[in-house]
Every structure is written in structure tokens, then in C-alpha cells.
Amino acid sequence: MVEYRELTDSKIKDLQTKRAELNDKLQECDNEDYAINIGKRLKDVINLKELTPQVLHSLVEKITCKNDGTVHIQYSFVNPLQET
């Protein structure tokens, strides 16, 4: 019974963390400057002739590689259509 309670508490904590992350993303998407900032970044990328480290760092937050070879790229902007 105690193990079930601990498991349930753990799931609740994970869901609360996920909810907070999703609320942060929603807030960013609702920000008036969001569309302007993403438009500027996209315009810069469209006119890009060479991918420099500065450009890459401005677009990518984190790259994670798993042991199975799977690569996950976390961008520095939010895609409101992306499933989480």
C-alpha cells in the first residue's frame, strides 16, 4: 500500500512538472513579441548562406544523444504545433 502511494505521488509530481513546462511554453507563445522574434530569426535563416556557430547557437538550446543513437534537438524557440 505504501509503494502504491509513493508511485502515485511520483506520478503526480511528474505531471505537475510537465504542466508547469507546458504553461511556460503557452505563456511564451502568447507573448506579443513571440511572433516578431521568430519572424526575425526565420528571416535571418532564410537569407543564410553559411551556417556559423553563432547562428547554430542562437537556434539550438540543447542536443541530446542517447546510447541507442537517437538524437534529440531542443530548439531555443517554441513550436506551438509540436506535440510533446
State pLDDT tens for residues 40-83. Answer: 777 776 777 777 888 778 778 889 999 998 998 888 766 555 55
pLDDT at 32: 63
More confident residue, 8 or 58: 8
Q: At what angle do helices 2-30 and 32-46 cross, to 10 degrees?
A: 70
Give residue 47's pLDDT: 75
The pTM of the full predicted model, rounded to 2 decimals, is: 0.38
Paired strand residues for 60? 75
Closest of 45, 30, 42 to residue 80, by C-alpha: 30
**Would you state the pLDDT for residue 79?**
58
pLDDT at 13 over 90: yes
Q: What is the pLDDT of residues 17-36, one digit of tens each?
A: 999 998 888 777 776 666 77
